[in-house]
Amino acid sequence: MAQIVTHAIVLRRVNYRENDRMLTLFSPNLGRIDALCRGCRRQKSPLLAASELFCAGEYVLYQSRDRVTVTGCTITDSYYPLRDDYERLSHGVYLLELCAAGIQPSQENERLFLLLLRSLAHLTYGQTKPRRVTVVFLMGLLSLLGFRPQVGRCCRCRQNITGAAAFSAEAGGILCQACGAGEKCRLSPEDVAYLQAIMRRGLDTLSEEGNCPDALFEALQAMAEDRLGMAIRAGHMLP
């Protein structure tokens, strides 16, 4: 039996019994934690807000054998304004589902945790189009999970990419014009430079001009689902 205090964010919640919820938490140092939140659905419960999606804070947990229970939480941000904009909300839920699919129990991933919090902050409080935020997140997620997209050289012939190209989810990145002749996702020189900038500067590119063609967005989604080994349901809800 032990008390655990950790920063975490709620990735999933499922109502359980009459007043409880089962939560999937993402902790930067403990990975995925499945925890029971007792009585949180009661109207005056101090844990009501702490059991909602997007809630981030310092959680106090109690572990007894294989069961973890939430006993307290100091909330740092709930990203509440997301709920007022369907497009931004749907992208936020998509980011949560991607993390839920990618993290494992007891697996530290502080960089992914910080990437998620910063991405949600951009979606909630920034002016950048949600799709651009999600593209940066997808590139970062794939890199941090060991599937870094190749954007500097052709994935097949290893030629340096300086002009127009193609993107292949199956190959894992950019293909030169010759190798990518049959690919659906075509990239202009500006698109290639945009992807290369994301790999260098991540979310900092959101302060600059940039564009993400629909075909590239869909290819990155397909690559993420293939590497994670599952379909991300919220991806089909994105406007």
pLDDT tens-digit profile, the chain (239 residues): 589 999 999 999 999 989 999 999 999 999 999 999 999 999 899 999 999 999 999 999 999 888 999 999 999 999 999 999 999 999 999 999 999 999 999 999 999 999 999 999 999 999 999 999 999 999 999 999 999 999 999 999 999 998 899 999 999 999 999 999 989 999 999 999 999 999 999 999 998 887 788 989 999 999 999 999 999 999 988 98
pTM of the model: 0.95
- What are 157-205's pLDDT values in tens digits? 999 998 899 999 999 999 999 999 989 999 999 999 999 999 999 999 9
Q: What was the pLDDT predicted at 239?
A: 83
Rounded (10°) CA dihedral 133, 134, 137, 143 = -130
Helical H segments across the chain, by residue range: 86-102, 110-125, 130-144, 189-201, 214-228
Helix (H, G, I), strand (E, B) or coil at 95: helix
Partners of residue 155 on adjacent β-strands: none
How far is it, in rounded angstroms, from Cα 148 to Cα 202?
A: 13
Which among 83, 145, 41 has a CA at the least distance from the CA of 137?
Answer: 145
